[in-house]
Structure 1
């Protein structure tokens, strides 16, 4: 009887240990892949540097000394995007609007006069509407982007310490760039992006005495935090 009882106990322990070993060896439950499809809103901040170059033409464009003004400063604002994911490919459209503290000044001389001239450029806001094309490595998205851009640009020229041509205008242009975005959770994302923006050439005149010709381009690096619905 004792031998039979001992055998039964051993058999029971073997079944229990076998069941426990099977439970420990069970494969983990696979988590579903992250989807970038949906609407996202966010905030961004960055640093931009720009170059404004052109000519200050006087006396009916017969005399046009050249100037080149570097500018830089902080940019920051909000963005909204809609993305659609097919397999690993992510297509999207995005718009943003930002306040800008990009400013700069320069001094230049004219070969036609003995005066020392000065030029200042100041951006107050900028915006863009862009397409995005990306490749998703699950929760990491690498993308390129491009579209149209706008900026409010103020220019001021002076000589002998006195302003003689100041004006503000909204400049259209184009922008291209690339970035990487990471899903921190099912709803929050973080991104790092670089963009180059070229604004259309500008011409602004005051009577027949002063015509400002200008090209303006800008580079910027931005960081952003978004919420995906």
Structure 2
């Protein structure tokens, strides 16, 4: 089911871009930079956030996740006559973000030494989003949101030593963000973007679940066709 969801998200982004490309009825503004067209780019940034392991017994942990990310993105924009720009975009990144969180008992008290807790590792993530912005010649502020997914590993450690197998799953959730793009030339476009993502949760055991929510700031540069 998760793979079907991911496939549908990517298909939505691709088919949406094709539909916008085929729309030749909108009147384009005269003069100035025109944002209509496809693009492909590379990006890098910093990610931070919080995981949460919750068990029915009341035991929990909240690892602070932190690290770098880098990857690619592809999309299509369509500029309307009123300077509004709509578009679709998909991206994929790899990450070294990870973090440890000490385990707490049902009353919120940390477990005594040796230290027991959970380690979260974010290996890769991606998203399929819709965009909306307002063109000010070569400057484009925008908001974007859609489906997000990530490959996350979780395992428990005791005084630095693993005490559980690594549990891994492709988490599926949602993302929302805002950014600014600037066209340095007719083909070279830079961007800076902030994004908040809730990757949802997955089952670690029949009585425990893992959740992950992140923030990230990304810088990118793209080639517009």
TM-score bin, normalised by smaller chain:
0.7 to 0.9
User: Equivalents in 2 of 1:76, 1:162: separation in Å?
Assistant: 28
Larger C-alpha radius of gyration, 1 or 2?
A: 1
TM-score under structure 1 length normalisation: 0.77
User: Equivalents in 2 of 1:111, 1:73: separation in Å?
Assistant: 30
- Mark the runs of 5 or more structure 2 residues left unpaired by the alignment: 1-29
RMSD over equivalenced CA pairs, Å: 2.0
Match of 1:218 in 2: 214
| Aligned pairs, number | 190
User: Equivalents in 2 of 1:212, 1:189: separation in Å?
Assistant: 45
Which is richer in strand? 1
1:77-120 CA-to-partner distances (Å, cap 9, x unmatched) read 00001000012010100000000111111222546986641210
Match of 1:3 in 2: none
C-alpha distance 162-94 of structure 1, shift in aligned 2 (>3 A): closer
- Residue 58 of structure 2 aligns to a residue whose secondary structure is coil
User: Equivalents in 1 of 2:59, 2:31: separation in Å?
Assistant: 64
Match of 2:84 in 1: 89
- Residue 166 of structure 2 aligns to a residue whose secondary structure is strand
- Mark the runs of 5 or more structure 1 residues left unpaired by the alignment: 1-30
Match of 2:26 in 1: none
> Is residue 2:134 matched to residue 1:135?
yes
Q: Is the 8 A contact 2:60 2:106 kept in 1?
A: no
C-alpha distance 111-34 of structure 1, shift in aligned 2 (>3 A): closer
